[in-house]
Amino acid sequence: MPESAAPIYSASRLSTYESCPLQYRYRYIDRIPRTEESIEAYLGVRVHEVLSALYQTVQGGNQPSLPDLLQDYYRRWEQHWHTQVKIVKRDRSIDHYKAFGERCLVSYYQAHQPFNRGEVLGLEHRVTTSLDPHGCYKIQGYIDRLVCVGTGRYEIHDYKTSGRLPSQGAIDVDRQLALYQLAVEERWPDAKEVGLVWHYLAFGRELRSRRTPEALEGLKHSTIAMIDRIEADAEFKPIKSSLCHWCTYQNICPLWTDHSDVTQIPSPDALGNGRSMEAQSRSLVEQGEPDAYAITRDALREAIMAAAEHEGTEMRFSEHGELWISASRFHSKANLDEVVNGWVRLSVESLPLLFRQVELARLSAHFIDKLQRYLALSTSEDRHATY
């Protein structure tokens, strides 16, 4: 591919493909304009703007007070508001989200004033890199805050307004900031230490991770493999999941409009598999119990997806939380009793077969451990189902 024709990928572009290839096609190939914006995205953008403005003010030699900061937030919230902001969770109000953003900012302000850690090299700073020497696999991203904290020591800071706190395991295989690290190391060759820092604002928590040169090399290869898969995809099949409720293309998606015959990962109900983890989790929330299942499950899901990509293995989760692997990974389907639409549902029992058939013995112990933990959790929850 000539260098000039190569599309530029980003972490969010890759994630979109993973969660739904059809959404990817609508957004990045057909470039269908999006008029709707989820309130979660709206809130996230406003909080990012305010934190960027805060550091700009500090760079100018001043420090805004907390009331000034919040005033800036309210002003931006009103200024940018539009009628296409969509609230999916109908039991929540605009004020709920606005107050959530305010709490994120208060917690960050109190924990980080006077905001003088290191030398800020960039805010919302665009970085680019190529994963190969020929410039065929280009990556770009925007670093919320890039900081030099000493000679050759850099930190990549990212603000998250998510209501879910990932596990350290998920953070350690997160793709986004590791791709940014590749770009930072290319731009600043003196970088001998790059810290990856996530600010989970709603929790007042800072999560940190480091990547070894080997891990970065693995990331390059798995990302190139994924880009190859995307560029070879001729079908861009939709995947129905809970994320559909936030999809701005739902009104044109065949899964939600004409119910045409498209490939989906089947639901457990259709297969007679009984109670799902999603259902249990919802039930716990309805009972006012802490959603511990969801937190553990989601952390493992995130980690497995990242690890699967790293290992060049295609895995997906059904909307009911089941783990599926592409049947194309199996040399023989003779012993698989549950192959649906080209996917095989994984269970603890099927792991030995999986290991033999796709030679998972060559995959990392780290990845296998994540699979086993996820499946063990699933099995345990099925066992303790109460209805």
Contact set with ligand SF4 (CB under 6 A): 20, 22-23, 238-240, 243-244, 247, 249-250, 253, 255-256
The Cα-based distances of 43 to 68, 88, 105, 195 in angstroms read: 18, 14, 11, 26
CB of 147 to ligand SF4, least distance (A): 35
CB of 164 to ligand SF4, least distance (A): 19
Among residues 34 and 208, whose Cβ is nearest to ligand SF4?
34
Which one-letter amino acid corresponds to residue 364? Answer: S
CB of 346 to ligand SF4, least distance (A): 22
Q: What are phi and psi of 273, to 5 degrees?
A: -95, 5
Among residues 23 and 223, whose Cβ is nearest to ligand SF4?
23
117, 58 in Cβ contact below 8 A?
no
CB of 165 to ligand SF4, least distance (A): 24
Among residues 23 and 181, whose Cβ is nearest to ligand SF4?
23
CB of 247 to ligand SF4, least distance (A): 3
Give the integer Cα–Cα distance in Å for 182 and 196: 12
Say how many C-beta atoms besides its own lie within 10 A of residue 79's C-beta. 8
Among residues 19 and 347, whose Cβ is nearest to ligand SF4?
19
Among residues 14 and 219, whose Cβ is nearest to ligand SF4?
14
The Cα-based distances of 306 to 173, 179, 300 in angstroms read: 6, 13, 10
CB of 105 to ligand SF4, least distance (A): 30
The Cα-based distances of 253 to 38, 108, 340, 381 in angstroms read: 17, 39, 22, 33
Among residues 255 and 300, whose Cβ is nearest to ligand SF4?
255
Say how many C-beta atoms besides its own lie within 10 A of residue 78's C-beta. 9
CB of 7 to ligand SF4, least distance (A): 20
248, 231 in Cβ contact below 8 A?
no
Among residues 248 and 280, whose Cβ is nearest to ligand SF4?
248
The Cα-based distances of 82 to 47, 61, 79, 267, 346 in angstroms read: 17, 34, 9, 36, 44
282, 361 in Cβ contact below 8 A?
no
Question: Alpha helices, DSSP H only, in 113-251?
Answer: 168-172, 176-187, 213-232
Give the strands of the sheet with 343-345, arranged side by side: 315-317, 323-326, 343-345, 339-340
Among residues 37 and 291, whose Cβ is nearest to ligand SF4?
37
* Residue 30: HSE in the Cβ half-sphere, 13 Å Cα cutoff: 13
367, 294 in Cβ contact below 8 A?
no
CB of 87 to ligand SF4, least distance (A): 17
Among residues 251 and 332, whose Cβ is nearest to ligand SF4?
251
CB of 79 to ligand SF4, least distance (A): 29
